[in-house]
Structure 1
Amino acid sequence: MRRTAMITAALAMAVSGGLAMAPSATAATACPSGAVCIRETNGSILSKNIFYSYGAHNLSNVTGYRVIVNNQTGGAGFQVCRGYNGGGDCSGVVRGTGEYTPYNMTPINSVVLVR
């Protein structure tokens, strides 16, 4: 429960700070409409880190500080979880669209898209 509160607090701080400072517009790859994306440290987005469908998506080799982009429509949100398949400690659901402050993804093993 304590870890969940820390994850939620970290994401809430990112949300309250508004849009994050991301790589410059010329260097950053756009996240497609309707998706949640995780940027590489160089600003690109790998196809394996673009998520469209609701539910849990396991991560592979996503470590360090990364920018998460919520480009879903209709108020859909996401949460990050320490366990695979959306298990373990998870953050609260984040629904704001845009880019979030870089977040330490090393302990994160899945992203869950929610309606």
Structure 2
Amino acid sequence: MRKIATAAAGLSLALGAGLATAPAAHAATPCPSGAVCIRETDGSILSRNIFYSYGYHNLSNVTGYRVIVNNQTGGAGFQVCYEYNGGNCSDVARDTGEYAPYNMTPIDSVVLVR
């Protein structure tokens, strides 16, 4: 839990202030192994917001405060980007697990990195 809180604090600093709590565990849909997922506000995960392949993934209609889950293996990470096609990105986040919710409204793409 400490690792998640530390990683969340670092990512929140990079992206702006986020909320302090994640959806309740009993209401959250699990993110598949090997993927990065973006949770809906109700804790569910839409299939269009599950990413497996390295590289950029442009987002559509992902707004408001959301939780990103990094369930990749082998130390792979992700970045959130303020431009489509992986432009103007945050630092790479490599810790696995849930990150504190933050505002996805200005985020246009997510990049999966090795």
TM range (shorter): 0.7 to 0.9
Shift of 1:46: 0.2
5+ residue gaps, structure 1, are: 1-8, 15-19
Counting matched residue pairs gives 101
Offset from partner CA, 1:27-77 (integer Å, 9 cap, x none):
100000000000000000000000000000000000011000000000000
Tell me which stretches of 4 or more aligned residues in structure 1 moved more than 4 Å.
Answer: none
1:34-73 matches, cutoff 5 A: 34-73=34-73
More strand by share: 2
Looking at structure 2, the residues matched to 21 and 12 of structure 1 have their Cα atoms a distance apart, in angstroms, of 12
RMSD between superposed Cα atoms in Å: 1.7
> Which SS does the other structure have where 2:26 is aligned?
coil
TM-score (norm 1): 0.82
5+ residue gaps, structure 2, are: 1-8, 15-19
TM-score (norm 2): 0.83
Residue 21 and residue 12 in structure 1: after superposition, are their counterparts in 2 closer, same or farther (change >3 A)?
Answer: closer
Shift of 1:21: 3.2
Residue 27 of structure 1 is matched in structure 2 by: 27
